[in-house]
């Protein structure tokens, strides 16, 4: 069911959980300081109990009372990129009201989304919002209200429809607590290049997130249909099923390499055009979700060269996780 932003604010104040739009992906939000709301998020998502929740705020000023401090490099990056698609690891004090959301960890990850609807609601209620992506744990992050309803509607989850997400992949997570060192724990639309432009002297590490970000241990970001990566020269040997590819491949390689009889037995799904990575990211999870609808035994993917932009690298990361999850 779709509800209005003001209705969502009322429900959140009562300790209910609602799905909200952000510019990256939709989040399943609840008052991060309310243990019942936090517990409900874990229950709906069937999320492992040791996987902490990102906490969302309307502004950097709103973050201050909840953290030990905002270190200098973090502050500089916050000023440059928030509100926006980036999250920061920070320390919280003993007895913090956020300890439910962090699973008892003294570190929190904070995010300040730019989406106007999210901003409006966060400002209205004035408490931090715990909001993991609004999907069943282990499946695709939703980038529209319809995707949230398709996954979580059966649990009575209500959604504020803020339109399709402008970015389409989850926020970059950074640890910029030590001066002169920025660790990227999860790649996203804001990457090393953008960070370097703001902190030219900092060392930037693309960290293995596994130790730092518990969510990366779990099966993650995957469609239900097993994915198999293939190269163009294997197209002629394809088994009937689904094939995902970007539009340039559709128009060239595939037509040249696939016998027409085989082509008839393969359902094609477009990832979008590789020449427009912004658009491709926006439609990424939606396109992958479409594959599940036909119930093919396998979805083959003609692996694109995602390019070297931060967004391209983030898509490559998500994609490699999906392939790892598939086997
Ligand atoms: O773009 C985003 O970040 C979206 C939107 C809704 O804001 N949220 C999102 O949340 O992607 P989630 O829960 O799907 O992914 C957050 C990741 C998980 O891998 C989780 O383990 C990690 O961040 N994480 C959250 N809090 C943490 C903490 N206190 N310490 C370490 N890792 C944490
Ligand atoms: Mg998630």
Q: What is the rounded distance in angstroms from the CA atom of residue 84 to the CA atom of residue 189? A: 10
At 129 the pLDDT is 98
* Alpha-helical regions (H) of 126-198: 145-152, 192-198
Tell me the mean pLDDT in the region 181-195. 97
- The radius of gyration computed from the CA coordinates of the chain, to the nearest angstrom, equals 20
Q: Whose CA is nearest to atom 12 of ligand 1?
A: 132
- Taking alpha carbons only, the member of 63, 76, 67, 64 closest to residue 202 is 76
Best residue among 52, 140, 167 to mutate for probing ligand 1's pocket (most ligand atoms within 8 Å of CB) is: 52
At 252 the pLDDT is 81
At 263 the pLDDT is 83
Reported in sequence order, the residue ranges of 46-133 that DSSP labels E, i.e. its strands, are 55-56, 86-91, 107-111, 129-130
Quick check: CB of 215 below 6 Å from ligand 1?
yes
The more confidently predicted of residues 137 and 258 is 137
Quick check: CB of 171 below 6 Å from ligand 1?
yes
At 327 the pLDDT is 58
At 234 the pLDDT is 87
Residue 209: is its pLDDT beyond 60? no
Quickly state the pLDDT bin for 305 (edges 50, 70, 90).
Answer: confident
Token pair listed for 250? 């559709």
Quickly state the pLDDT bin for 236 (edges 50, 70, 90).
Answer: confident
The more confidently predicted of residues 259 and 107 is 107
Q: Whose CA is nearest to atom 32 of ligand 1?
A: 213
Quick check: CB of 188 below 6 Å from ligand 1?
no
DSSP codes joined into one string, 304-325: ----SSHHHHHHHHHHHHHHHH
Token pair listed for 171? 């926020």
Residue 159 is given by DSSP the state B
Quick check: CB of 241 below 6 Å from ligand 1?
no
Quick check: CB of 32 below 6 Å from ligand 1?
no
Ligand 1 atom with minimal separation from the 212 CA: 31
Which range is least confidently modeled, 4-8, 32-36, 209-213?
209-213
Query: Are the beta carbons of 66 and 128 closer than 8 angstroms?
Result: yes
Q: Whose CA is nearest to atom 21 of ligand 1?
A: 215
Please name which ligand lies nearest the alpha carbon of 87.
1
Quick check: CB of 24 below 6 Å from ligand 1?
yes
Q: What is the rounded distance in angstroms from the CA atom of residue 322 to the CA atom of residue 326? A: 6
At 262 the pLDDT is 84
Quick check: CB of 135 below 6 Å from ligand 1?
no
Q: What is the rounded distance in angstroms from the CA atom of residue 142 to the CA atom of residue 25? A: 6
What is the sign of the dihedral through the CA atoms of 184, 190, 191 and 197? negative
At 146 the pLDDT is 97
At 254 the pLDDT is 75
Q: What is the rounded distance in angstroms from the CA atom of residue 216 to the CA atom of residue 1? A: 31
Q: What is the rounded distance in angstroms from the CA atom of residue 175 to the CA atom of residue 103? A: 18
Q: What proportions of the chain, in percent to the nearest 5, are helix, strand and coil?
A: 40, 20, 45
Q: Whose CA is nearest to atom 18 of ligand 1?
A: 215
Query: Are the beta carbons of 112 and 83 closer than 8 angstroms?
Result: yes
Quick check: CB of 187 below 6 Å from ligand 1?
no
Inter-axis angle of helices 5-13 and 116-125, nearest 10: 40
Residue 326: is its pLDDT beyond 80? no
- Distance from Cα 55 to the centre of ligand 1, integer Å: 8
Q: What is the rounded distance in angstroms from the CA atom of residue 1 to the CA atom of residue 157? A: 7
């Amino acid at each position: 069911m779709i509800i209005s932003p003001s209705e969502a604010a009322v429900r959140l104040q009562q300790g209910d959980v609602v799905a909200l739009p952000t510019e990256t992906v939709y989040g399943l939000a609840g008052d991060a300081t309310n243990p019942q709301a936090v517990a409900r998020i874990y229950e709906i998502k069937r999320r492992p109990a040791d996987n902490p929740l990102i906490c969302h705020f309307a502004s950097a000023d709103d973050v201050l009372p909840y953290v030990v401090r905002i270190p200098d490099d973090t502050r500089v990056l916050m000023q440059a990129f928030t509100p926006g698609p980036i999250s920061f690891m920070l320390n919280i004090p003993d007895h913090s009201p956020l300890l439910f959301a962090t699973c008892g960890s003294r570190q929190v990850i904070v995010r300040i989304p730019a989406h106007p609807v999210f901003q409006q609601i966060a400002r209205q209620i004035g408490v931090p919002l715990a909001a993991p992506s609004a999907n069943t744990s282990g499946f695709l992050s939703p980038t529209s209200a319809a995707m949230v309803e398709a996954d979580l509607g059966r649990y009575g989850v209500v959604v504020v429809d803020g339109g399709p997400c402008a970015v389409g992949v989850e926020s970059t997570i950074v640890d910029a607590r030590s001066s002169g060192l920025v660790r990227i724990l999860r790649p996203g639309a804001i990457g090393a290049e953008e960070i370097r432009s703001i902190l030219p002297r900092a060392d930037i590490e693309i960290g293995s997130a596994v130790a730092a970000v518990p969510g990366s241990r779990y099966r993650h970001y995957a469609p239900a249909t097993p994915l198999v990566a293939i190269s163009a020269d294997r197209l002629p040997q394809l088994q009937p099923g689904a094939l995902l590819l970007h539009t340039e491949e559709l128009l060239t390689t595939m037509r040249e390499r696939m016998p027409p009889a085989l082509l008839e037995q393969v359902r094609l799904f477009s990832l979008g055009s590789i020449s427009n990575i912004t658009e491709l990211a926006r439609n990424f999870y939606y396109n992958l979700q479409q594959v599940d609808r036909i119930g093919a035994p396998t979805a083959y993917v003609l692996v694109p060269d995602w390019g070297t932009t931060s967004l391209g690298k983030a898509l490559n990361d998500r994609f490699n996780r999906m392939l790892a999850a598939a086997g």
